[in-house]
Structure formats: structure tokens, C-alpha cells
Amino acid sequence: MRLSNIAAESGPPAFFNLSRLEAEDFGTYNVILPEEPFVWGVSHIIRRPVPSHIVRPKYAVQNDPSIDHEQQYEGDGRINLGSIDEKRVRAAATLAKNVRQYAGSLVQPGVTTNSIDAAIHNFIIAHEAYPSPLLYKGFPRSCCTSVNNVVSHGIPDDRPLEDGDIVNIDVTIFLDGYHGDTSSTFLVGDVDEPGRDLVQMTNTALEAGINACGPGRPFNGIGRAIHEIVRNTCHSVCPAFAGHGIGTVFHRPPWIYHTLNEEPGVMLPGHCFTIEPSLIQGSNPSVWIFPDGWTASTENCARSAQAEHMILITETGVDVLTQ
């Protein structure tokens, strides 16, 4: 995930129209909208405690949302292959994968995303790690849960998951000085065919992006590969969110764009980054931000799905660390 605290709009877009949504036949599901009256920001959400002995990333120690943590990096971010650093980043990725799988086991109708967040939080600290989203630029929870039309950065809440929902759970952990980051979109109960197709195509797009990776290959080849997979379908790729370099820093270059782009640079051994395409039903990939300043919804309330893996470029190929 690349958490970005975007300024919120004053409410749904002016052209928000449920009848239009039905006309485009995106399937059967309930649209997620902010509760009214609107509550601005997230200061009212109580943060879950983390034991004092758990090592925290710098932003969680400072706990200052005004600090631009994405500028606090040095060098090219490459991992020294064969070193203790590689072992630590692999361990962080493995724990993130285990958390993602555990989160998926909790998904069922009637369960709230807030209870899933609490369980994930406890799982992470039980493994002597820190939930990276917590306090990142002021984010108030330990993971992101994005339901139906929410594209990214959904804040876990007390709405029970409903039969037919889809929910992306995006987890990042901080262990021994390294972040591990991954996400999946899960089906809740009996999901309609358009919803299942969306999730399957999202996973296929992620695999296409991974297949474009390797030493000496261009970073912009990832977006090109995803574009070729998606362009003749009834889905579009959201350009608002990117993958990112990861390691001792949560988000840093290289930025990984999932649409056609001219981003320079080639992958070199030791580069570690995420690929995390968000696909949206239909041809409008635009988003708007809820009053909480985080939750990003599609403008027309079409559904979205996301899938994410963490990639390490080796001397001879690529390792998918969170698979």
C-alpha cells in the first residue's frame, strides 16, 4: 500500500447517481458511503495500544502526522543480496503473508472490519512486530479494509460484512527494521459473477506485472504488461495509487505505476518493491475521498479490487516474497 492522506471533498461527487450505476450493470452489491452527519478526519478513532517493547518505525515513535516520511530515505534502496538485510526483509515479507492469510480466514458475513483489524493487530504484536499503517501520517488503524466501491485505504469500522461483499485487506508489518507489505481481495459469502470476475482479473493483472520483472528490465514494463491484460476487458486500472520501493522505509522509490507510463529506470539485483494494481468495473477509474481524509471510493460507486505482492529482484530473476 502507499498511504496518502489526500484532502477530502465535501461529499459525494455532484454527478453521483445510483440509477446510472444500475444502468451500467455492475452487479448486485451494497454501496459504501460515509455516514451522515459527516465526521471530518480521524481524531475521534481510538488507536489500539502496542506494547512498549515492540520496535516501532520512526514515524510511530515521533507520532507527528505533519512529517513527510516519504522523503526520509537515502540511497537507491537496494537490498544487499546474501546479507542479513536480505534475511530480514524476507522474514518481514513472510510474516506479512501469514497475516494476510490469517485475515482471509476471518472474512465471513456478519464480521466487522473493525474486529478483523483487532485480530490482525493482536496477531502482529504476538509475533513481536508492529502494524505499519498505525500512526502512519495519522492513520488510525492497523490495516486497511476496502469494501465494494472503496478502492483503497478504507478504515476498519463497525459495519458488518454482508453476503455478496468483496473486501480488500491490506496489511503491512514492521519486523527487525524492515516492512513487509501485501494485500488480497476476499469474497464474502455468495458474490455475483461480475464481482468474482473483477477479483480474478485483478489477480491476473498482478501476475502479468510480476512476469514483467527481472534484472535489467524496465520498471515501466510493469504498467505496460498490466495494460495489455486489462485493455480489452470491462475493467479499468486505477491510476491514483502506485506500488513502491520498500525495506527499512515504508514507501520510497522506485514508484511502480500500473498504467502506461514513461517512468525511467531498470530493475537491478536488490531492488525490492510492491506491485499492487487496483482494478475498477467499467471505464471510469476516477476516485474521490471520504470526509475521513483517507477512504478512496470510485466516483460512480463501481466496485474495485486490489491485489499486492512484494518483489525482490535477484541476480538471475525475481522472487515474490509474499506469495
Point out the annotated binding site for substrate. 153, 251
Q: What Cα–Cα distance (Å) separates residue 63 from each residue in 67, 135, 155, 305?
A: 9, 6, 18, 30
Among 154, 157, 158, smallest CA distance to 171 is for 154
Q: Which grid cell sits at 110?
A: 456478519
Binding site members:
153, 170, 181, 244, 251, 276, 308
- Residue 112 burial class via C-beta count within 10 angstroms: exposed 0-12, middle 13-18, buried 19 and up: middle
- Residue 102 burial class via C-beta count within 10 angstroms: exposed 0-12, middle 13-18, buried 19 and up: middle
Among 169, 179, 154, smallest CA distance to 119 is for 169
- Distance from first CA to last CA of the chain, Å, rounded? 16
Other CB atoms within 10 Å distance of the CB of residue 167: 23
Other CB atoms within 10 Å distance of the CB of residue 230: 22
Binding site members for a divalent metal cation:
170, 181, 244, 276, 308
Exposure letters 236-260 (e unless 16+ CB within 10 A, then b)? bbbbebbbbbbbbbbbbbbbbbbbe
